[in-house]
């Protein structure tokens, strides 16, 4: 596979375009700029190193859909370029099927990510995807199916798509189906009714209903009566379904963790201890003792790191210090349980920030699980 160019799709301000070219050149890549309206999006056989999109473009969603609809392009990393790397910009990018966010003046950050992709990408092992079993993704929405399917495929699942609850019940009965991810309003019966019917007929797959925030409470009550079922926020990053699937499929037994891991997404400024500038990632899960930060520029294990972010259930930011415990680079891996990024063991905080972090995580856990979480 020849990876010789960075593909920039859309209209970029001149200063941003120069930064993109500078980043690509720094790692030995050329840059190709094309407008969204160019057809086809890519010549037959082309396989760029990565794709860059302007997040303020009304065509960003359509571009991602076109990329992910082609098997040969489904695994290409997609970067969004935004004026500010804030929570909503990350969430919007992930919902489109993108992988990481860089700022308008972040040529160095983009170069760092491209360098990691070219030198440390996990090898694609033939036959890896599917070893975790089969996952079914159910919705009539083509883009939604593609984004959810990609998250599950990266976790080692072979993915099947269905568009109705009737079809879903039949497919869920297959012996090798491990996970079902379904839009809550799937017609004609709906996700919860389909789950109950499939269970009554012998289906054993973990069942994850994706619901808009305003309906989560009612869907949660309905799902609560079902074994191995959960609800995920439809506005949250699609990789959250992988987290829930791992929880539902975990073998029974005592949890050896000192504190529960919780899905919690917010922008995290991070830098190697003593370095000049922050980079920005997005938290995936957190606990009182650490967190996982998703980014395509993960720090190496053993690196001392400084963090700045909003603590859960808190009205203020915290500054923390920790050590990188492990990392996952971009690429297909057997049973990958998290998106690319790195895990941090928190060891200290500025002023009372370490205690604020722990208190926030504890309050967040109790809000989710009740007093048993303490």
Is residue 215 situated within a structural domain?
yes
Would 345 be classed as within a structural domain?
Answer: yes
Q: Report the first-to-last Cα separation within the chain, whole angstroms.
A: 51
pLDDT of res. 127: 42
Q: How confident is the model at residue 155 (pLDDT cuts 50, 70, 90)?
A: confident
Q: Is residue 129 assigned to a domain?
A: no
Q: Considering only 3-7, 85-89, 279-283, 370-374, which range has the smallest mean pLDDT?
A: 370-374
Q: What is the CATH number of the domain that holds 269?
A: 2.40.10.220
The residue with tokens 């790692």 is: 27
Kindly state whether residues 232 and 138 are assigned to the same domain: yes
Q: How many folded domains does the chain comprise? A: 3
CA–CA separation, 279 and 284 (whole Å): 16
**87/277 Cα distance (integer angstroms):** 20
Q: What is the pLDDT of residues 118-129, one digit of tens each?
A: 886 655 544 445
Is the residue at 356 inside a domain? yes
Q: Give the range with max mean pLDDT: 296-310, 318-332, 357-371.
A: 296-310
**Residue 281 belongs to a domain:** yes
Q: List all residues 6 or more positions away from 275 whose beta carbon is below 8 Å from its beta carbon.
A: none
Domain boundary at 120, 154, 185, which? 120
| Domain assignment present for 333 | yes
> What per-residue confidence (pLDDT) applies to 239?
92
Whether 92 and 191 map to the same domain: the answer is no
The pLDDT tens digits of the residues spanning 270-296 come to 999 999 899 999 999 999 999 999 999
Q: Are residues 153 and 112 in the same domain?
A: no
Indicate whether 253 pLDDT > 50. Answer: no
What pLDDT was estimated at residue 76?
87
Verify that 169 and 272 share a domain, yes or no. Answer: no
Which domain CATH number covers 51?
3.40.50.2300
With beta carbons less than 8 A apart as the criterion, state whether 308 and 124 touch. no
Tell me: do 238 and 306 sit in the same domain.
Answer: no
Are 159 and 231 members of one domain? yes
Q: Is 203 exposed, middle or buried (0-12, 13-18, 19+ CB in 10 A)?
A: buried
Mean pLDDT score of the chain = 88
User: What tokens does 187 get?
Assistant: 């017609």
Residues 13-61: tens digit of each pLDDT: 999 999 999 999 999 999 999 886 655 566 666 678 999 999 999 888 8
CA dihedral 112, 115, 119, 124 (to 10 degrees): 90
Q: Is residue 177 included in any domain, yes or no?
A: yes
> Which pLDDT score is estimated for 43?
61
Structural domain contains residue 128: no
Q: pLDDT (tens digit, 9 = 90+) per residue, 88-104?
A: 999 999 999 999 999 99
The overall pTM is greater than 0.75 = yes
- Identify the domain containing residue 279 by its residue range: 262-373
């Amino acid at each position: 596979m020849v990876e010789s160019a960075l593909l920039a799709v859309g209209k970029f301000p001149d200063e941003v375009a120069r930064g993109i070219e500078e980043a690509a050149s720094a790692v030995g890549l050329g840059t190709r700029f094309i407008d969204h309206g160019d057809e086809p999006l890519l010549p037959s056989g082309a396989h760029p190193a990565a794709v860059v999109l302007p997040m303020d473009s009304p065509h960003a969603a359509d571009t991602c859909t076109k990329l992910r609809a082609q098997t040969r392009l489904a695994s290409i990393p997609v970067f969004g370029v935004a004026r500010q790397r804030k929570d909503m910009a990350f969430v919007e990018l992930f919902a489109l099927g993108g992988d990481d966010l860089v700022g308008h003046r972040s040529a160095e950050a983009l170069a760092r990510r491209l360098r990691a992709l070219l030198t440390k990408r996990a090898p694609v092992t033939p036959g890896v995807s599917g070893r975790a079993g089969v996952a079914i993704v159910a919705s009539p929405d083509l883009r939604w199916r593609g984004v959810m399917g990609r998250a599950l495929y990266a976790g080692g699942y072979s993915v099947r798509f269905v568009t109705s609850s009737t079809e879903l019940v039949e497919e869920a009965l297959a012996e090798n189906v491990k996970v079902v991810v379904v839009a809550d309003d799937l017609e004609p019966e709906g996700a919860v009714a389909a789950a109950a019917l499939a269970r009554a007929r012998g289906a054993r797959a973990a069942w994850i209903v994706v619901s808009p925030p305003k309906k989560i409470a009612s869907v949660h009550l309905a799902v609560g009566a079902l074994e191995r079922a959960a609800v995920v926020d439809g506005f949250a990053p699609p990789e959250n379904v992988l987290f829930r699937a791992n929880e539902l499929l975990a073998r029974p037994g005592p949890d050896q963790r000192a504190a529960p891991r919780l899905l919690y997404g917010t922008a995290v400024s991070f830098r190697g201890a003593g370095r000049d500038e922050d980079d920005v990632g997005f938290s995936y899960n957190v606990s009182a003792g650490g967190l996982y930060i998703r980014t395509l520029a993960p720090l190496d294990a053993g690196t001392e790191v400084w963090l700045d972010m909003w603590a859960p259930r808190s009205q203020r930011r915290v500054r923390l210090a920790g050590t990188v415990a492990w990392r996952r680079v971009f690429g297909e891996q057997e049973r990958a349980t998290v998106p690319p990024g790195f895990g941090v063991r928190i060891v200290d905080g500025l002023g009372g920030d370490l205690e604020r972090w722990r208190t926030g995580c504890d309050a967040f856990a109790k809000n989710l699980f009740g007093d048993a979480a303490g």
